[in-house]
Amino acid sequence: MHQALQNKEFKMFLQPKFNLKNDELVGAEALVRWQKPDGTYRYPNEFIPLFESNGFCIKLDTFMIEQACEQLRKWMDDGLKPVPISVNQSKILFLDKNYPDNLEKILDKYNIPSSLITLEILEGIASDDLELLKRQIDILHSKGFKVSMDDFGKGYSSLNMLYQLRIDELKLDRGFLKKVPEDDEKRRYIILRQVISLAKKLGIKTVAEGIETAEDREAVIALSCDYGQGYLYGKPID
């Protein structure tokens, strides 16, 4: 993995995120791909869990921040309007006490405003020390970064977390769009509608992940979700 990082085998792909109301591009998510020397790709699910347990994610996620900054710099230098890039950040990196300062240093290096970087964390991060997490989010906010809670609804999402953490965005797990029996579907919509309404009242933007069909899109629009991401709009591209 160290060799691969040195050899630039890790590539940043970007998946667009759209405003569901007017189809305007509002951002992109950086997703890592490991391109082997023979040209084939390895996907994050095959290596991120390992890198999380052996600590290499600290290096890889930092590298992805750099890649995002490099891309933003390029857009700006080419006279293109940049859109914010969301970068997935693992728990050990996000909770490190030097993390906010280190982030700032990287952005300074590329002369990128922090408003163009959103940090995505998984809901599981909120399981331990909520106070520590809350403080870190506050520090990151004071530096101008936005924080997004990814895969909401996949694990044990707690309402406690929603009110205590000042997150900017909630990404609803694509499991919410999976086919289920009609009876469950009705109940699911009741829950989803309320979660989205709660988020709105708390000033949190909502993103529906995994929009694959026009039907999915209609469903999340009906729920007043703000943004959408998925194969219907665009796959991750290099």
Please report where in the chains the tokens 């050990």 appear, as a residue: 92
Does 123 contact ligand C2E by CB under 6 A?
no
Q: Where does residue 150 rank: exposed (0-12), middle (13-18), buried (19+ CB within 10 A)?
A: buried
CB contact at 8 A, 88 and 61: yes
- Among Mg ion, ligand C2E, none, what does residue 22 contact (CB within 5–8 Å per kind)? none
- Among ligand C2E, Mg ion, none, what does residue 61 contact (CB within 5–8 Å per kind)? ligand C2E
The type of residue at 35 is: Q
The type of residue at 198 is: L
CB contact at 8 A, 207 and 226: yes
Pairwise CA distance, residues 193 & 187, whole Å: 10
Binding mask 73-112 for ligand C2E (x = CB under 6 A): ---------------x-x----------------------
Does 46 contact ligand C2E by CB under 6 A?
no
Sign of CA dihedral 177, 49, 46, 8: positive
Q: Which residues make Cβ contacts (< 8 Å) with residue 221, sequence separation at least 6? A: 20, 21
Does 206 contact ligand C2E by CB under 6 A?
no
Does 150 contact Mg ion by CB under 5 A?
yes
Binding mask 173-202 for ligand C2E (x = CB under 6 A): -x----------------------------
Does 48 contact ligand C2E by CB under 6 A?
yes
Residues that bind Mg ion (CB under 5 A): 88, 120, 150-151, 209
Residues that bind ligand C2E (CB under 6 A): 15, 31-32, 43-45, 48, 57, 61, 64, 88, 90, 120, 150-151, 174, 209-212, 229-231, 236
